[in-house]
Amino acid sequence: MPESKNRLLYGGGLTSTRPDKNSIPRFGLLWLKLPAYLGISVLIIISLILVSLLPFIGMELMTVSHIVDNALQREIFLTLRFPRVLTAFIAGGGLAVCGLVFQGVFRNPMADPFTLGVASGASCGAAMVILSGAAGVFLGLPVAAFGALCGAVASFLLVMIFSASIRDGSSNMILLAGIAVSFFFSSLLMFSQYVSGMGETFRIVRWLMGGVEVFGYAPLLSMLPFITTGLVLIAANAAALDHFLTGEDIAQTRGVHIRLSRNLLLLAATVMTGGIVSVCGPIGFVGMMVPHFCRPFFGASHRILLPACLFAGGIFLSICDTFARTVIAPSEIPVGVITALLGAPFLIWILRSRGNV
C-alpha cells in the first residue's frame, strides 16, 4: 500500500503537524531523558563516591589522617563503618532488583518481596530460630540466617503449590496466593511473639524493623553467594522479563518458556530476598520504590533497568542507613523506619512530576 494511503488512513498528515508528545523538549532535571548508558555510568560514579565517602560520616566526622594515625579510629572504620556501608549498598541493590523482578513477572506495580510472602516467610523463619534460642553456625551461615532462608523458600514453595492447583496458574492467582501466605506467616509470627517472653519479643520486634548493623565482613560474605546467584539468573532472563509486560499469551507465542522463566525468576528473587533478609531483617519499601523511581529515567527495558535498580537501590539504602546512624547519634534509628520516611514523599513527588510513563 502506498505511503500516502497509510497517511490518509491514520491521518498521518495531521499527526505530523501536531507536536508529538514525546518530541517536546523537556527542561529541568526531572524531564531529562538520559541515554541509558550515560545514566548507568552516572549511577556507577555516584555509587563509587558514596561507598568511599559515607563511611567517613558518623557521630563524628572522620578524616583520612584520623584513620592513618589512630588505631582505634582505623578499627572503627574498617570493621564497623565500611562493611556497614557496603552491606547497606549491596542489600539495597539486591532488594531493588527483587522488587523489579516481582513487579515485572506479575505486571503489578505493588508487587515486591513483601507482597509475595517471601519476606514474611523469611522473618518468621528467623524469628522461630531466635525463639528456640539456637545459636551458632550451620552450613557456613548463622542459624538465624539459615532460618530466614528456609522460611523464604518455604513460603515460595507454598505459593507455587497453591497457584499450581489453579489450572491457569496466572499471575494474579500467584499474587493472591502470595498475599495469603504472607498473612499466614505474619499471623504465625504474631502468635509466636504472643506466647514468648518479653526479652525474646523485643529481640524479634527489633529484628523485624530491619537494620544493617554488621560487625566485620562475615555477614556480607554470607549474603553474597545468594545475591550473585540470583543476579546471574535474573540477568539471563532479562529479555523474558520484558516479554512478561506484553501479556503472557503474547510472550508465550513469541517463544518465551513462560513457566520456566517465571519460576527461575521468582526462585532467583526468593533466594536473594532470603539471603538479604537473613542479614538485614525485612527492610521495607526499597524493593517497591526503587524500580518506580528508575522507570521514568530508564524506560521499561529490563536490560537497562536491572543495573539501574541495582545501583539506585544501593545508593538509596546506603544513604538511608547513614541517616539512620547519624540523626540521633549515638543512638540509632532502624533503617527500615528511614526508608519509608524518606522514600514515600520522594516517590510521590517523582510520580507526580513525571506522570505515568
Give min distance, CB of 14 to another protein, in A.
11
32 binding another protein? (CB under 8 A): no
Window of 8-16, 196-204, 263-271, 339-347 that interacts with another protein by CB under 8 A: 8-16
Note whether 125 and 188 are within 8 A (CB): no
Closest CB to another protein among 47 and 261? Answer: 261
Site mask for another protein (CB under 8 A), range 154-173, x = bound: -------------x------
300 binding another protein? (CB under 8 A): yes
Supply the DSSP symbol for 313: H
Which residues is 138 bridged to in the sheet? 141
Closest CB to another protein among 21 and 71? Answer: 21
Burial of residue 43, with CB atoms counted within 10 A of its CB: 0-12 exposed, 13-18 middle, 19 or more buried:
buried
354 binding another protein? (CB under 8 A): no
Window of 33-41, 254-262, 266-274, 284-292 that interacts with another protein by CB under 8 A: 254-262
List of residues 6+ apart from 101 with CB closer than 8 A: 234, 241, 265, 266, 268, 269
Rounded Cα distance, 166 and 188, in Å: 25
Closest CB to another protein among 132 and 172? Answer: 172
Rounded Cα distance, 297 and 88, in Å: 23
* Count of positions on this chain that bind another protein (CB under 8 A): 38
221 binding another protein? (CB under 8 A): no
Give min distance, CB of 138 to another protein, in A.
36
CA 65 → CA 8, 81, 83, distances in Å?
73, 16, 20
Give min distance, CB of 181 to another protein, in A.
24
CB atoms within 10 A of CB 329: 12
Window of 62-70, 139-147, 266-274, 295-303 that interacts with another protein by CB under 8 A: 295-303
The three grid cell numbers given for residue 320, joined into one nine-digit string: 538511608
Give min distance, CB of 53 to another protein, in A.
35
Window of 16-24, 55-63, 120-128, 324-332 that interacts with another protein by CB under 8 A: 16-24
Stretch 227-246 residues interacting with another protein (CB under 8 A) = 236, 239, 242-243, 245-246
Q: Where would I find the beta strands (DSSP E) of the chain?
A: 137-138, 141-142
CA 287 → CA 114, 129, 169, 312, 318, distances in Å?
9, 25, 24, 11, 14
Give min distance, CB of 105 to another protein, in A.
13
List of residues 6+ apart from 223 with CB closer than 8 A: 87, 90, 91, 94, 275, 276, 278, 279
37 binding another protein? (CB under 8 A): no
Window of 12-20, 40-48, 319-327, 338-346 that interacts with another protein by CB under 8 A: 12-20
In terms of phi and psi (left: phi > 0; alpha: psi -120 to 50; beta: otherwise), the region of 258 is alpha
Window of 11-19, 45-53, 130-138, 195-203 that interacts with another protein by CB under 8 A: 11-19
Stretch 77-136 residues interacting with another protein (CB under 8 A) = 107
Which spans of this chain sit near another protein (rule: CB under 8 A)? 1, 3, 5-7, 9-10, 12, 15-16, 20-23, 107, 167, 236, 239, 242-243, 245-247, 249-250, 252-258, 295, 299-301, 356-357
